[in-house]
Chain A
Amino acid sequence: QLQLQESGPGLVKPSETLSLTCTVSGGSISSSSYYWGWIRQPPGKGLEWIGSIYYSGSTYYNPSLKSRVTISVDTSKNQFSLKLSSVTAADTAVYYCARQKLLGFFDIWGQGTMVTVSS
């Protein structure tokens, strides 16, 4: 059964770079049928798609975050990663990684990791 697990620091200082990794287990990240995405949810608020990546490295980003976001993939480790630069308190959120059916719906989600931006 495919599982996703986010990992990374839970506290990031303002103006620094948030870095998270999603490890995929129970299946291959190199599937031709799926993209792999990052979604975030500020406390008590709704869901915001950040961006998605294909195993080949092709990426799509939310234009509102594009200038600060980099998503990369490491097929040898079955992982994909998120970097968000110049963070502010507004970036405080639970960050989820998820499997995305060809830039469509998200059918498998990680448990999420809370990231707080604070000095």
Chain B
Amino acid sequence: DIVMTQSPDSLAVSLGERATINCKSSQSVLYSSNNKNYLAWYQQKPGQPPKLLIYWASTRESGVPDRFSGSGSGTDFTLTISSLQAEDVAVYYCQQYIIPRNTFGQGTKLEIK
């Protein structure tokens, strides 16, 4: 299994400030043949299903605000919210999909300070 570890487990950020969530994989999720990182990010608000934000580590899903960005390669990845809005309060998950047995991180809870 590829274990995905997120940090921190929870995070409180002031409105308008930057929020940064990290995700580390136990093995590289970079596929050398196409130079793509098989890493996605999701946002889950209370009582709702997860929503895809980012795939291929840095490609924003259609309709996702551009304050959300993804970066990183290999085993270390970051989700950044450039200017936190009240509606961004949620739990965020990373997911690797380089192998069919895809796995998720444990989640990072983002709150307003």
A-B contact pairs, 24 of them (CB 8 A): A46-B104, A46-B105, A46-B107, A47-B42, A47-B50, A47-B93, A47-B104, A49-B101, A49-B102, A49-B103, A96-B49, A103-B97, A103-B100, A103-B102, A104-B38, A104-B102, A105-B40, A106-B40, A107-B52, A109-B49, A109-B50, A109-B51, A110-B49, A112-B49
A residues lining the B interface (CB < 8 Å): 46-49, 52, 60, 62-63, 96, 98, 101, 103-107, 109-112
CB distance from B24 to the nearest CB of A (A): 15
Question: A105 contacts B55, CB within 8 Å?
Answer: yes
Q: Besides A49-B101, A63-B101, A104-B97, 5 other CB < 8 A contacts?
A: A47-B104, A96-B50, A109-B49, A109-B51, A111-B48
Instruction: Please report which residues of chain B, range 21-50, place their CB below 8 angstroms from some CB of chain A when the two chains form the complex.
Output: 38, 40, 42, 48-50
Q: What's the minimum C-beta distance from B78 to chain A, rounded to whole angstroms?
A: 17
Q: A47 vs B12: C-alpha distance in the bound complex, in angstroms?
A: 22
Residues of A within 8 A of B55 (CB): 101, 104-105, 107
In order of increasing CB-CB distance, the 3 nearest A-B pairs are A109-B49, A105-B40, A47-B104
- Asked whether any CB of chain A lies closer than 8 Å to the CB of B17, the reply is no
Chain B residues near A103 (CB-CB < 8 A): 97, 100, 102
| A96 proximity list for chain B (CB < 8 A) | 49-50
* Complex CA distance for A60 and B106, rounded to whole angstroms: 22
Contact A49 B104 (CB under 8 A): yes
